[in-house]
Structure 1
Amino acid sequence: MSYVTSMFARRFSIFGCATVATTWLFNRNRNGSEYMATPITDEKLLVKPEKMVFKMEKMCMDLQNRLCRELEAVETSNKKFKPDRWLRKQGGGGISCVLQDGEVFEKAGVNISVVHGKLPPAAVKQMRSRGKNLPDNQSLPFMAVGISCVIHPTNPMVPTVHFNYRYFEVDTVEEKQWWFGGGSDLTPSYLNHKDAIHFHSTLKEACDKHDATYYPKFKKWCDDYFHVTHRGERRGLGGIFFDDVDTPSADAVFDFVSSCAYAVIPSYLPIIREHVNDPFTEEQKQWQQLRRGRYVEFNLVHDRGTKFGLLTPEARVESILMSLPLTARWEYMHTPTEGSAEKELTDVLRNPRDWV
């Protein structure tokens, strides 16, 4: 028997001015800091950062704080993000912020990592396999800074979202190599064309500020990357994805990455607010659980970031696997009914569309 959810008390109009009004008043946390926790790097170095690793860390810290406060403002329970600041013996550390068992968000995590040390040969081999010119069978000094986020809402009508933006440096005997990577993608349980168009349009606008070729190139890259090959379908409706970007200059790529990273809030928050009160049935909740199962399959079988994280010495497994949903489901030989909303979604996942 179906039921209608009634746990939410607020309703918002889609993509209107009121819905995208930002709440930068939340920039300072309860202790008066600009960030969710004390940065891994000395804050004095982040005031006017000169090195790219510091510029990237400052941007990640600011975005983490803004996004967590925005999400807390949407969450109808009194649940808050819990900052977990951790250090790594080999160098650096991170800040994991997780909100769990909320009314709006079943599980949401916004993580920052600022790590350095020596890349083990297995990680170097993985990088060489995608074309990086690195010496083989050596442990190389590296620095990496990044922010990653996955949000799994309670309501199956609200899509899951993921983003990750990162900067990497590796020192070889001959030179210091650097590059940026990242992306953002939307994973709904039910297809909503307006949501998809809004999400992709916002990302395209962020890309177009820097290069008109970025969005079509990185949109295709996203469709190809988030491919659950053993299922023959994409993980979701895509977005953008890129890696190993090292031209035209570090500052230019940093500006591009920053634009994409800050586009997360206007691309996703209006979608949450539009659907947070949508009614749903028990059958629709079960379908969401099945889709989450596919999400888990991709992250554990195919995701390069998960593999790299687990190969890194002293890997912090809890933060790496933060992306997994709190609950998921697998049914044997489940097939959506022809003509159903569930079948409509799976058809799009097997044949990606251009949304803008």
Structure 2
Amino acid sequence: MSLSPDREQLFKEVTSLLHYQAEVYPLGERFTSLPENLANIVVLDVTKVPGCHYGLKNVFVPIIRNLEETRDKGRTRIAPDNAILVEPSTGNGWTAFSDAAEALGYEHIVVMPGGLPEARYKHLSGRSVTIIKTPKELYAEGMPVQVKALVDSNLDRIRRKEKIYASPNHAVSAGDITVATMVELGKQLVDQLQPKLPLTVIASMGNGASVCALGEYVKANTKNARMIATESFAYGGGYDWFARLNHRKRYKDAYGIQPGNRTLLAEFSTYGTNAPIGIELPLQTRAIEGGLLDDYALFTDKQVMRGLDRIPFMFLRTWWEWYQASLLPNYSKLPQSLIDTYGNSTLANIAVAERVQKPGRITVAMAYDGRGNY
């Protein structure tokens, strides 16, 4: 279905309006007295961009356009006068969704897990947004259930002549559009950095979007680049997947517990970074099974390690397995100046970058959020 000329013009204007610039800098330029191994790490910083990596070049604008243009014949068309957009989010991406939906004239709802810091439920502009919270203990697993329940009510809503619910569902149904738009991350990194040495890029796995967008662009446009995904030790599902495919030691074999241990998950606080267990996300598959990743790094923090201490040795693990976990990059041990500035997901990438950097390469850590989001 083609768009009307007025709608076409609006999409063009909104695309231009919701386009921002990332910051690229070595940590040593922003923080004095850092040790050299931290000062040399380059940060790709979208912490001030509404919707962070989703908002740099707003991915939801083309996704919503696709939703309007490709609705199946015989089904209700998607337009502001007859649809309410619904989108799940565990991180900051919902801000980009809300900005796109608002600018394109849609009522909209965000579905998020309960139990996150209050700052993560607030739009940066202060604008009020309807947010449905799913049970805290379900974390990411609760969101698709809630979205499905809303969409399943559409027949009744049509009978009552009410607007239907429709979900752009960027992580599941619009992966190709998401990556094609989000390559702006890689483009801005390479354009600003103009690297003379090979890059090692570290990004949170999450739903796989930023890993695919960054990794695919950087590997296609620079020589000998390496892409490393990160994930909290509290989850480990994505790491275990990668380890199985690449003949690495499996999570259970290394740490004595299964991925997604509930005691550890209760201490998890690097929101948006994990590869959610039990949820099929195409961009995770693309990253992990498509040969994009050169490595997959687990990280930890003091809260997760306290959770590990509560798991009895005699039932689930040995002292040696605890020791192996204690050796993981721990972002709680970074300098206080960094902890006061960046959010936990950013700190985790910096901690991994510190561990994996090597002479003759530029190590880049993706910075998704600032301390204000926590």
* Same fold, TM-score > 0.5, yes or no: no
TM-score, normalised by the number of residues in structure 1? 0.26
Structure (1 or 2) with the greater strand fraction: 1
TM-score, normalised by the number of residues in structure 2? 0.25
Structure (1 or 2) with the greater helix fraction: 2
